């Protein structure tokens, strides 16, 4: 790795262990000024621990970190921020306080600074907040409570708050996972400006679309160490993935499922006001991917099928019988399961261990006379831990001890524990690395017999990896349908963006 005076942050021989588990094993990393370093690594590779050392959450056991040439050993996260290392974490609510309004969130550091006083000039606060929002091209009512805002807006507020701190090193952990293409491009434009101002950016992502757009260099981690550094005018993405995994990534070759009996039918269902009605059929044994931009109607479709949103037009049938669930409980009772996106807010119960998190919806099936059969519960959890390759010591581990990707596997396992007629998976690969994505995808396909599986994904490459058929939504209506064996990425992209795909498959 080149070592020069333009290096904002330098990590040398960093070590960190938790008990007998050695997580960082002599990590060396340079983060140059004015460059975006993309950090890739499989779940459990040590990425999160490295970031937590840099942002003052954990203290290193050995090695050294310098910031601007001076020793850097923050006592806590506030100290790291004060010295110029600012992190936007993958868990969005780590970066915002939902109970406060937008202005208070954006200006929180100023409000809590020493000498800030007890009295706040609301008008001045909101004026300053609007300036911060404008610098991010964020069009938002600064008086609105953050709790009323969607995931994407919360993410942009967390990022805007980080910008207000004028960082020397900005760390972004999967920042586009909840952003639309337009919002993501706004973020990339901001990163371009920061790059020009000499800010070092450490960008954690596995999304190739992000990496190709933003990376100046790629650092791959594996098993607590840096496994490869890739830089230069032409970045070797394939080599970076190989270094991350320790082996070459073979091409996906899904054998399309044989058409079978229809399980779920939608007839004339309107997803968004003013949009054309949608007709859709999902078959037994089939993995159907629904893709489209944020606001395309994917979430509305999932919510209607799962009973979280009322059916206003058209009708649905399940195994030939009328189906219009009044709530999620009725949907589950009919055999329709949903694994929701944003596991931190909608799925993970932090106070529960792996076993309790995994079996939560089906505790009655593990109980007799109101007594929970913990042995049977642990046996079922152990089976899913093995099937999905969840990295843990056992089902009794606290869910919070797992990496984000392994938490996601637990949430997927939750809805695979019991047989279903329709399995809805909303962004099942959110925050997981490429290897874990393949693990999840293989298991979903291997267990698809006897049910209809509908996977809602924003990334086209994720749809290509898992699906027998892909349906593209655009502004609430079907823009195109594509079948395995005849997937043309150019045509898919054209449908997703609403562009006419003239000769796109040629």
The 10s digit of each residue's pLDDT in 36-78 is: 999 988 767 888 899 999 999 999 999 999 999 999 999 998 8
Quote the pLDDT of residue 138.
78
Residue 486's contacts (CB-CB under 8 Å, 6 or more residues apart) are: none
Mark out the alpha helices in 306-373 (DSSP H runs): 328-333, 343-346, 354-359
Residues 249, 196: Cα–Cα separation, whole Å = 35
Residue 332's contacts (CB-CB under 8 Å, 6 or more residues apart) are: 361
- Checking if the pLDDT of 500 tops 50, the result is no
Residues 292, 497: Cα–Cα separation, whole Å = 8
**pLDDT tens digit sequence for 3-18:** 445 899 999 999 999 8
Q: What is the pTM of this model?
A: 0.60
Q: Where are the beta strands (DSSP E) in 380-487?
A: 422-426, 452-457, 469-474, 477-483
Alpha carbon dihedral 455, 456, 459, 464, in 10-degree steps, equals: 30
Helix H or strand E encompassing 82 = helix 77-83
Rounded to 5, what percent of the chain is helix, strand, coil? 35, 25, 40
Quote the pLDDT of residue 140.
86
**Residue range 249-253: mean pLDDT, rounded:** 49
Residues 444, 469: Cα–Cα separation, whole Å = 14
Quote the pLDDT of residue 110.
67
Quote the pLDDT of residue 259.
65
Domains located in the chain, CATH noted: 1-84+167-249 (3.40.50.300), 98-165 (no CATH), 252-335+420-497 (3.40.50.300), 343-418 (no CATH)
- CA-to-CA dists, residue 176 to 172, 241, 290, 300, 420, angstroms: 9, 19, 19, 20, 31
Structure-block tokens of residue 293: 């931009």
Quote the pLDDT of residue 250.
46
Q: What is the phi/psi pair of residue 280, to 5°?
A: -155, 140
Sign for the pseudo-dihedral over CA of 279, 281, 282, 288: negative
**Residue range 148-165: mean pLDDT, rounded:** 80
- CA-to-CA dists, residue 393 to 354, 382, 386, 422, angstroms: 10, 10, 12, 32
- Checking if the pLDDT of 132 tops 90, the result is no
Comparing 240-244, 370-374, 391-395, which segment has the lowest mean pLDDT? 370-374
Sign for the pseudo-dihedral over CA of 181, 184, 190, 193: negative
Collapse the DSSP code of 481 into the 3-class scheme (helix H, G, I; strand E, B; otherwise coil) and give the result: strand
**pLDDT tens digit sequence for 340-360:** 886 666 678 888 889 988 888
């Amino acid at each position: 790795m080149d070592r020069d005076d333009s290096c904002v942050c330098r990590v040398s021989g960093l070590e960190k262990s938790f008990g007998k588990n050695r997580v960082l094993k002599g990590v060396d990393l340079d983060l140059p000024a004015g460059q975006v370093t993309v950090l890739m690594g499989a779940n459990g590779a040590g990425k999160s621990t490295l970031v937590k050392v840099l942002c003052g959450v954990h203290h290193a056991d050995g090695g050294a970190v310098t910031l601007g040439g001076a020793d850097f050993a923050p006592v806590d996260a506030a100290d790291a921020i004060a010295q110029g290392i600012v992190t936007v974490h993958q868990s969005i609510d780590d970066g915002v306080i939902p109970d406060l309004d937008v202005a208070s969130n954006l200006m929180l550091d100023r409000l809590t600074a020493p000498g800030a006083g007890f009295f706040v000039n609301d008008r001045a606060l909101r004026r300053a907040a609007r300036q911060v929002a404008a610098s991010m091209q964020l069009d938002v009512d600064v008086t609105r409570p953050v709790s009323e805002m969607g995931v994407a807006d919360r993410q942009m507020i967390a990022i805007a708050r980080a910008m207000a701190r004028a960082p020397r090193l900005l760390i972004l952990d999967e920042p586009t996972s909840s952003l639309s293409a337009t919002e993501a491009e706004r973020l990339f434009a901001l990163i371009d400006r920061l790059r020009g101002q000499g800010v070092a950016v450490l960008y954690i992502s596995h999304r190739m679309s992000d990496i190709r757009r933003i990376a100046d260099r790629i650092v791959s981690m594996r098993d607590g160490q840096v496994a490869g550094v890739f830089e230069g005018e032409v970045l070797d993405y394939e080599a970076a993935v190989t270094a991350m995994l320790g082996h070459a990534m073979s091409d996906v070759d899904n054998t399309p499922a044989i058409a079978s009996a229809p399980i779920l039918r939608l007839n004339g269902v309107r997803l968004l006001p003013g949009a054309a009605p949608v007709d859709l059929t999902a078959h037994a044994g089939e993995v159907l991917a629904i893709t489209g931009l944020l606001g395309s109607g994917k979430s509305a479709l999932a919510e209607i099928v799962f009973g979280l949103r009322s059916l206003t037009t058209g009708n649905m049938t399940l195994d030939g019988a009328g189906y219009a669930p009044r709530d999620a409980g009725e949907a589950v009772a009919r055999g329709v399961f949903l694994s929701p996106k944003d596991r931190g807010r909608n799925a993970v119960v932090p106070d529960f261990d792996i076993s309790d998190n995994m079996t939560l919806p089906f505790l009655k099936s593990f109980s007799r006379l109101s007594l929970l059969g913990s042995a049977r519960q642990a046996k079922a959890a152990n089976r899913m831990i093995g099937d999905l390759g969840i990295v843990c010591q056992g089902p009794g581990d606290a869910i919070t001890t797992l990496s984000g990707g392994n938490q996601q596997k637990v949430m997927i396992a939750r809805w695979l524990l019991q047989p279903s007629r329709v399995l809805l998976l909303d962004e099942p690969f959110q925050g997981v690395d490429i290897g874990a994505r393949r693990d999840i995808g293989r298991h979903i396909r291997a267990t698809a017999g006897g049910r209809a599986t509908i996977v809602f994904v924003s990334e086209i490459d994720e749809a290509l990896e898992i699906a027998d058929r892909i349906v593209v939504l655009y502004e609430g209506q079907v823009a195109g349908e594509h079948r395995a064996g005849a997937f043309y990425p150019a045509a898919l992209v054209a449908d997703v963006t609403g562009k006419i795909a003239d000769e796109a498959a040629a």
